[in-house]
Amino acid sequence: MQKNIKLEERLRDKARLVLKVNYFTSIFALLFGILCLFVLGITKIIPYVFFTFGILNLANTFLYRSHKNLTLTYNIVSIMTLACAITITLYSGGINSPFIFVLALIVVAGYITTKAYGSLYLNLNLLIIVLIYSQSIAEFSFVTNVVPEQSKNLFALLSVLFSVYLLGGVFGKNLLHAHHNLYKTKDQLEVKIMEKETLLKEVHHRVKNNLQTVSSLLSLQARNNEDPKVKDLLKSSQNRVISMAMVHEMLYMREDISKVQYKTYVQDLAEYLVRSIKGTSSNITLDIDIPDLKLNIDTAIPLGLLINEAVTNALKYGIVDDSQGEIFIKLRRGDDGEYILNIGDDGIGFSEATNHKNTKSLGLKLIHNLARQLQGSIMRDLSKKGTHYIVKFREIREQVPTLV
């Protein structure tokens, strides 16, 4: 909504600038034509070109009120200005005509509109100037200078004043105004962005605190329950909550609040799970191979939960009791933008016939469901000892909340 409003405001500002310039150039063209005809004594071609341009450009400006097509209005006035400027330049001295500077105004007007138009008119006018020069030095010229000798200096003065006033008084003034509005808008946007980042950090901080509260409640409930199965279930749920809380904690502590530094996250999560399940003096070795990559929250949380389940299963069922064991976690990015996660352990593993469809293991079901949530695929690597998974997925497109 806000983007559409700002786009409409920019279009209105650009339309006002083009229309204002059109009115000024039309009025000056008509006045210049009158001066040429009645003061300078120029009775051929030049004054009538000014009159034609002034009238047609006013008509072009008024027509914009009905069709509202700014590009069409700009292109019409640009073509008319270019044609009239070339004609007046040729009939007022060619390459020596002071009116040739008006061609530079067309380039400036082009760059005000878009960079593409500016580049187009720059190259076109450079070619035109070369052609005007070639025509001026040719032995046979098809145009003549229609400005009387006694009026040449005054015509030159009026041409320079016309160019300078349009460049400085019209284009310059409006460009300065537009420049001021641009920086004013930029400052306002920077303030809003800072406010949004502060708000999002506060949201992540509050979410993390709320999840930690849930974790504490689960821990308290587990301590007050004597049933080992219930305690185990509550502990597993607590670890899942902690894995999500760690994502939000990393987001509000970093400058970039949209991405998670995933190597650090996985390292912290895996070490926490080892301490939680095996204790501080375990025989577990972590082999984590993750490059310096960042993932958005929509990908980081389900992937973190998947890693949590795989590591938890490895610690509880793969590497039993106080046995020595190693857990492998490798994440890399393929050439086509796909991510590949290799995760496993060198424990006792489980039967090849067991899968998420025929097992009662919640962890195994969650691993496959989370892989599906990541819009990816998962398969067991049966060539290695223990339990190993290969998960392929792509980063989920981030859903950015809109702050109205």
What H or E segment, with its residue span, contains residue 377? strand 377-380
User: Strand pairing of 339-345 and 387-393?
Assistant: antiparallel
Q: What is the pLDDT of residue 1?
A: 45
- List the one residue out of 296, 300, 297, 316 whose CA is nearest residue 364: 316
Mean pLDDT of the chain: 81
Burial of 22 (0-12, 13-18, 19+ CB in 10 A): buried
- Give the residue extent of every domain in the chain: 2-181, 282-404
Instruction: Find out whether 107 and 121 touch, Cβ atoms under 8 Å.
Output: yes
Q: 235 CB contacts (<8 Å, ≥6 apart)? A: 218, 219, 222, 276
Read off the pLDDT band of 22 (50, 70, 90): confident
Residue 340, pLDDT score: 93
Assigned superfamily of 282-404: Histidine kinase-like ATPase, C-terminal domain (3.30.565.10)
Q: Between 344 and 208, where is the model more confident?
A: 344
pLDDT band at 400 (very low <50, low <70, confident <90, very high): very low
Average pLDDT over residues 77-83: 86
- Which of the two residues, 78 and 281, has the higher pLDDT score? 78
- For residue 166, CA distances in Å to 46, 81, 103 come to 19, 13, 12
Pairing of the two strands 339-345 and 325-333: antiparallel
| The pLDDT of residue 184 | 66
> DSSP label at 260?
E
* Averaged pLDDT, 175-204: 68
For 243, 245, 255, 261, 302, the CA distances from 268, given in Å and listed in that order, are: 10, 12, 19, 11, 16
State the Cα–Cα distance between residues 293 and 263, nearest whole angstrom: 7
pTM of the model: 0.54
Phi, psi at residue 25, to the nearest 5°?
Answer: -65, -35
Give the range with max mean pLDDT: 132-136, 163-167, 175-179, 227-231: 227-231
